[in-house]
Structure 1
Amino acid sequence: MKKTAISYLLFFSLLFSLGIGNVSCQNKKNNSIVMRYDSLSKEKIITLTPFDSTLVLVFYKKYPELLPYKKQAVAIYQQQQYNYIWYDGNGIKETAAVLWNKINNIQDEGITVSVPYKTVLDSKYYKKTATPDIELELGLTSYYLFYVDKVYQGIDASKSKELGWYLPRKKASYNNYIDSLLVEPTSAQDKFLMPQYYKLREALKQYRDLDKKGGWNKILVTPKFKSLKPGDTSAVIAQIRTRLFLEGDLTRDSKDSIYDEELKTGVLRFEIRTGFKADEVILPKHIAEMNVPINNRIKTIMVNMERCRWISNGLTKSKEFVVINIPSYQLTFFKDKKPVLVSKVVVGKVMHETVVFSGMMSYIVFSPYWNVPTSILRKEILPAMRRNKNYLASHHMEWHNGGVRQKPGPNNSLGLIKFLFPNNNNIYLHDTPSKNLFKEETRAFSHGCIRIEKPVELANLILKDEPNWTPEKIDEAMHTYKESWYTLKTKIPVYIGYFTAWVDSQGTINFYKDIYKNDGRLMEMLTKE
């Protein structure tokens, strides 16, 4: 069973938080209730004796779909000397009701798999007998492990790596939080999953509610449709107005067929949050995006909730860190947990995908050489040299140590500065002379490294507290035509992620193109879990 250690620690904490650590005997009689009277108050005290350990094996033989949780359950009950977890002398505990409610509403967490034996254990749960039902006891234990596995852990790390996800997976223990999770799940939520998860969960609810009401209709346009601009009149405009109102980009639906200022506001809002440049002219590509079925949006939210399960809250505890989201083509530099710089980026094209991973920025290189990777040398540079004997000179390149490198300067493919976070993928952040690429909506053009639109601003912020690195000094180092390295005094975490749905600080959900086609593969994995 995967994640055995984490789940065991989770449950071990739960056992003590539910107050079952004090045991007076190791009686093996099943469902045995012991009544005694306090010698002073004369009040009746009801306690439960431990149950027969062989009943655990009997249970999992009868309910084989829960067998993956047998090993953890056995270890837990051995540690607790086979005392009941979900029952006390007065019957089933209130904490069992909290868990049962979570299991009944597990679909709210974007979980697609069904809960095994739910109907059978439902009938046992709702009997509410004072005498413990051993099958319900073990069923609740299995359901708890099932919930932790699906909601807080997510799919196995080996499967996420199949999708190219190499960010460190969460390794947290919830020992200190499990009590508050079961009793006060809302107040404890930020201790278990990253805040973005809960924002997406709320968006999932909103989109499902909208889906139940019929969602939105497809906007019908003729094959000859080219564009709509402010002032135009068309039946299509009325369709667009209704569509944008349903998803919240307009506050009302006037049904008007004239492209007015109110509609323009909604159109621009829709374009920005779906990855387009703000353009008041409505083009076929915008209509196509509006026609994405609501069910597709729901699936997109679900797969991104899954990605949130893989990330530890601890990733953002550093004073400074850099986050790059590949599908949004955006870098954000955080300082004291606040975004101080947002920059467009260019990422790897489909054949040279930028890897999802993390590293520690350790060096800034001014006026860098570009050491041409062997693959690019073989596939691109050498064929070009055979066609043009002056190719190296015309591209400011030279042979060096058996390879080819490009000399420092404004024509260098890395621009005037690069930021290194050593890694096996040979990926780094860098400037570029091709500034025009940042004007494009789709910016997957590189061989894997990440080009930054605002490298100077990033360097100034990183070195802001370094008295020897004034903006003038940085500019000078970038234009010397001589490579120089600076080692950062404090390393800065860099996280490269892949999120195609993201709720921003204003509560607006943004959808981005799945440029590496990972969403469909992840959704398939989730439905087979």
Structure 2
Amino acid sequence: MDMVSKSLNLAEAEAFRMFTRLQMPISLPGYGLKTGVRGLLSSVALGFVLAAGLVSAGLPVAAKSTAFSQSLAIAAADDEEVAAWYRDTAYDTLWTGPEDAARRQALIAALETAGDHGLPVARYDLAGIRAALASARTEGDLGRLEVKMTRAWLDWARDVSSGALDPAKIDSTIVREITRPDSYALLRAIATRDPATVARRLLPDSDAYVQLMKTRFDLEELSASGGWGPQVPAGALEPGATGERVVILRDRLIAMGWLSPTPTAVYDRMVQNAVMNFQRAHGLPADGVAGGDTLAEINKEPEDRMKSVLVAMERERWMDIDRAGRMIWVNLTDFSAEIIDDGRVTFRTRSVIGREEMDRRTPEFSDMMDHMVVNPSWGVPRSIIVGEYLPLLRSNPNAVSHMQIVDRNGRVVPRGSVNFAGYTARSFPFGMRQPPGDNNALGKVKFMFPNKHNIYLHDTPAKSLFAHDKRAYSHGCIRLADPFDFAHALFRNQAPEIESEFNQTLKGGRETPVKLEKKVPIHLVYFTAYPQGHGVMGYRRDVYGRDAKLWSALSAEGVVARTVSQ
């Protein structure tokens, strides 16, 4: 039997690759990037169809012979889900039969563009599949190839739809409930439906993912063409400055798209405005001075930004959420909290997040907000009681006098009846509570989404902290700069007179829970790269070093911040 198999050649691969980059350039501010059509991922999906015209695999008929079935069964022996599929379908082919051309073509197209999504291409072994397609000589070869392609399909489908990494293995403070697609369902879908459509629907469909992928393409092209020019030498630059360093700063801002071309060698008003716009997009104080933090961000290279974008794309793949309706979005790296209605930000405020020490960092997770408490008391977490307060009480029983000592039933215990010096951190049987009041650590209101991390949003008497640009000061909870306005925005739909009702409850001074009639999804996220609207990609500092960990893990899996030339 003449067994000839043809896979994508280099010209065909490049044709498909360029097809996925079809765009309608519109210049917009920010890094000299261009925004393309919003349907970028649809273009990628259409690439599957294009690839179908490029690939014509002349595989032999894979008769369901004993040799084929046995080799397939042996190859799938260590994967019960794959083995069960083929047993249940009487060893029918998905990829290697003469009627399987469309599936072969869709799979090869998907694997060819896996790197564009920042996926670990080596995991799918496209080169091995191509080699096997070209060298298959026996039905046993075809059985082994069948399993190899099935595994590649399942790996790619899981990775592109729900992420290539398990975040819990990277950092325990990343708590994402990731639902991996079922193997049997993925195989049934590719077996019974249009392959290109199945592949397309596995791609993340959020607008943010589209913009991140578009930015990723633009950044690699910028990198291949030399980036943004020389870095600005160290040392602050202020308005009125002149000289070579100002020229380098000017040229870099022009290359990034923050400044229109100008021959000026002076740090004039135009340069100052460009620096201020850059600072706003990067979460820096917009003072128009190119100081140390600002220059550190200006001097980042396209490859650095690409790493942030690729990590953000992985995070988007973990976020299997319904973006319709209302949700609360707390981006820890941006030190902000937003209420979003049907994709539109309707309220935004500054926030303070957990400190940088590992046991104080605010975790990433999603939950449902169900009520607020006006005039809250503060039940001090056990870790703070034994780690901070008990050592003080051992030496001075009257320390932290604003706190009540309470038993396990919540009853106040007189301090004079407690021998604090006789207890260890392990044996101390009491709790501590701060009653409602002007100096309560939670301020005048807290917003609850009961969770195992004991994290919530709340007011604070420490208002001065919101003047800082980097606001990591709490024990882990999220402090809001405008908690009353947040409450008004959150409850207005169910209580049109919320402002007056809220103020009346505040004046009463009593601890009062107020239930939301409809729970609101809340997402605590950590994006150092994200679309800010109007074609501008925002970048933030890696406050907790989580992105560095994720990039290291992606790199270990073979993901690269590659350029077009690669």
* TM-score, scaled relative to structure 2: 0.74
Specify the alignment match of 2:71 in structure 1: 55
Distance 1:185 1:511, change over 3 A: farther
- Quick one: distance in 2 between partners of 1:203 and 1:185? 25
> SS of the counterpart of 1:502?
strand
- Quick one: distance in 2 between partners of 1:476 and 1:456? 13
Q: 2:269 aligns with which of 246, 258, 261?
A: 261
- Quick one: distance in 2 between partners of 1:468 and 1:108? 48
Q: Quick check: 2:168–2:175 contact (8 Å CA) kept in 1?
A: no
Listed one character per residue, the Cα deviations across residues 130-158 of structure 1 (whole Å, up to 9, x for unaligned) are x9971544433232123123322324546
Unaligned runs of 5+ in 1: 1-29, 34-47, 61-66
Listed one character per residue, the Cα deviations across residues 250-281 of structure 1 (whole Å, up to 9, x for unaligned) are 3x443532223332332122212222121212
Listed one character per residue, the Cα deviations across residues 52-72 of structure 1 (whole Å, up to 9, x for unaligned) are 311214557xxxxxx97x444
> SS of the counterpart of 2:404?
strand
Q: Which range is displaced more, 358-367 or 93-102?
A: 93-102
Give the aligned length: 469
Q: Displacement of 1:227 after TM fit?
A: 3.1
Q: Quick check: 1:92–1:132 contact (8 Å CA) kept in 2?
A: no
- Quick one: distance in 2 between partners of 1:112 and 1:294? 20
- Quick one: distance in 2 between partners of 1:32 and 1:187? 28
> SS of the counterpart of 1:53?
helix
Q: 1:426 aligns with which of 450, 454, 458?
A: 454
Q: 2:550 aligns with which of 509, 517, 522?
A: 522
Specify the alignment match of 1:216 in structure 2: 228
Distance 1:77 1:505, change over 3 A: farther
- For 1:124-143, list aligned pairs within 5 A: 124-125=132-133, 134=142, 135-143=144-152
- Quick one: distance in 1 between partners of 2:540 and 2:278? 12
Q: Quick check: 1:237–1:256 contact (8 Å CA) kept in 2?
A: no
- For 1:438-457, list aligned pairs within 5 A: 438-457=466-485
Specify the alignment match of 1:344 in structure 2: 350
- Quick one: distance in 2 between partners of 1:327 and 1:406? 30
Q: Which range is displaced more, 319-328 or 75-84?
A: 75-84
Listed one character per residue, the Cα deviations across residues 369-396 of structure 1 (whole Å, up to 9, x for unaligned) are 1222233233433455677776545xx4
> SS of the counterpart of 1:405?
strand
Unaligned runs of 5+ in 2: 1-58, 408-429, 558-566
Q: Which range is displaced more, 461-470 or 287-296?
A: 461-470
Q: 2:249 aligns with which of 240, 246, 257?
A: 240
> SS of the counterpart of 1:471?
helix
Specify the alignment match of 1:37 in structure 2: none
- Quick one: distance in 1 between partners of 2:199 and 2:159? 18
Specify the alignment match of 1:324 in structure 2: 330
Distance 1:428 1:288, change over 3 A: same
Q: 2:208 aligns with which of 189, 196, 221?
A: 196
- Quick one: distance in 1 between partners of 2:193 and 2:283? 39
Q: Displacement of 1:431 after TM fit?
A: 0.6
Q: Quick check: 2:378–2:435 contact (8 Å CA) kept in 1?
A: yes
* TM-score, scaled relative to structure 1: 0.79
Q: 1:228 aligns with which of 220, 230, 238?
A: 238
Distance 1:215 1:389, change over 3 A: same
Letter in 2 for 1:354: T
Q: Displacement of 1:287 after TM fit?
A: 1.0
Q: Which range is displaced more, 166-175 or 266-275?
A: 166-175
Q: 2:178 aligns with which of 165, 169, 177?
A: 169
> SS of the counterpart of 1:56?
helix
Q: Quick check: 1:324–1:496 contact (8 Å CA) kept in 2?
A: yes
- Quick one: distance in 1 between partners of 2:431 and 2:145? 68
1:512 corresponds to 2:540: yes
Q: 1:311 aligns with which of 316, 319, 328?
A: 319
Q: Quick check: 2:494–2:517 contact (8 Å CA) kept in 1?
A: no
1:404 corresponds to 2:415: no
- For 1:109-120, list aligned pairs within 5 A: 109-115=117-123, 117-120=125-128
- For 1:150-189, list aligned pairs within 5 A: 150-155=159-164, 157=166, 159-160=168-169, 162-171=171-180, 182-184=195-197, 188=201
Q: Quick check: 1:415–1:433 contact (8 Å CA) kept in 2?
A: yes
Distance 1:485 1:237, change over 3 A: same
- Quick one: distance in 2 between partners of 1:32 and 1:389? 86
- Quick one: distance in 1 between partners of 2:205 and 2:258? 29
Q: Displacement of 1:312 after TM fit?
A: 0.5
Listed one character per residue, the Cα deviations across residues 337-366 of structure 1 (whole Å, up to 9, x for unaligned) are 432111111000012011111222122111
Q: 1:80 aligns with which of 64, 89, 104?
A: 89
- Quick one: distance in 1 between partners of 2:167 and 2:294? 37
1:494 corresponds to 2:522: yes
Distance 1:72 1:264, change over 3 A: farther
Percent of aligned pairs sharing the same letter: 26
Listed one character per residue, the Cα deviations across residues 145-201 of structure 1 (whole Å, up to 9, x for unaligned) are 2312332232454645634211321355676986888425897466x4543223212
Q: Displacement of 1:218 after TM fit?
A: 4.5
- Quick one: distance in 1 between partners of 2:205 and 2:443? 38
Q: Quick check: 1:501–1:509 contact (8 Å CA) kept in 2?
A: yes
> SS of the counterpart of 1:244?
helix
Specify the alignment match of 1:479 in structure 2: 507
- Quick one: distance in 1 between partners of 2:96 and 2:391? 75
Q: Quick check: 1:170–1:311 contact (8 Å CA) kept in 2?
A: no
Q: Quick check: 1:358–1:496 contact (8 Å CA) kept in 2?
A: yes
Listed one character per residue, the Cα deviations across residues 308-328 of structure 1 (whole Å, up to 9, x for unaligned) are 1111133x34x3221111111
Listed one character per residue, the Cα deviations across residues 391-431 of structure 1 (whole Å, up to 9, x for unaligned) are 545xx443344433223222211111111111111111101
